Chains A and B, each alone.
Chain A
Amino acid sequence: MSGGKVSTSDVTEQREATKSLTPLAYLLPLRLTVGWDWLDAGLRKLMLAPAKVNPSSSSFVLNKFVSFLPHAGPFTFLLKYFLENPSVGGTFLVTYAVAEVIVGVFLITGLLSRLAGFGSVVMAAALMPAYWLGSTCEDEWQIGILLVASSVVLMLMASGRKFGLDSYLFVKFGDRPISSLPVLRWIKFW
């Protein structure tokens, strides 16, 4: 179908512009799911079942680290350090839970999505000592690799620039690295 009144160059331009936006919009289900995955994990520990971060409770999550030990490889030392110093381990746990809530909320709202995506990659990779656990299938590893790969995509695509608060930030400030220092300048806020 050839348009009579609209110029061909205008149509091509519009098509190109739309095409470049469409893929980012399609990331929404992934951004919401990965965000909710973290938010759920953080909320369960901090609000819904706070016994999980209470050192004197039997459901204290640090106890789970004991079961990671046999095949934790290079992480064994760190896990034992956390377990033998439960106050340090507990602090790590609460910090991790708070980070889960922050990353979750940021991904869901599309705020600082590149930084949140980067945090999500690091946190998913940090579950590595548990990757060997999977009594019915390769459970923990499958969760881990999907989170790592999804987070890398959300980070690289700056997924909050569409359907997210980053759309305003990007228009206002453009690309912003977290620091001008080497390596750190590759990590962008949004």
Chain B
Amino acid sequence: MTTGKTEKIAVIAAVLVMVFVLVTGQVAYGNVYGHLFNDSKAPKIQVLKAYVYTTSGGTYVFLNISDVAGPDAYPASVTMLSVSNATYHMTLYAPNISSSVVGITQAKWNLARKGYSNYYSGLVIPLGAQAVFELRLPTLSTGEYTLTLYTPAVPPVSVSLQITAQAA
């Protein structure tokens, strides 16, 4: 192999490796250009879908929740939940939340990283996992409400709930 060829291969390899380094770094942390970020520092609860229906026995809320950021070692928790509008306000703390949960449906890909609820943490969802939590709340009258999920140390997440006529 001539020296010229060796140098050519070395330069091509260096360029390819550096492109790989810079592109992956920019995608993962923005460490080349623009503002820096690290998506695995703080949890981020995402409500993918909220569905509600009401009966005389209670109002049933289905929340499809995922944790899309934060450390992989610890799951995200919703330790407080509120339902409110101009004339109504209800706050549930972790023990109330866990006693309101009547069902949890796991996403197919969760494997052992399942969503669950307990007395201390309310709703719990591991990083990347997704689950539909079914909560039974006291019967809410017809109208529009804002449901807010609170996770310690990060901004709360709100979704709107439209309660129409009572189901049979």
Contacts and interface: CB of A to CB of B under 8 A. Distances in A.
Interface string B1-35: 00000000110010011001100110111010000
A45 B17 CA distance: 29
A153 to B, nearest CB: 8
Contacts of A4: none
Contacts of B24: 128, 131, 141, 144-145
Contacts of B68: 70-71
B39 A71 contact: yes
B132 interface: no
A135 interface: yes
Nearest to A56: B112
B14 to A, nearest CB: 9
B27 A73 contact: yes
A145 B25 contact: yes
B17 A152 contact: yes
B144 interface: no
Interface stretch (A26-34, A61-69, A107-115): A61-69
Interface of B: 9-10, 13, 16-17, 20-21, 24-25, 27-29, 31, 38-41, 66-73, 108-113, 126-129
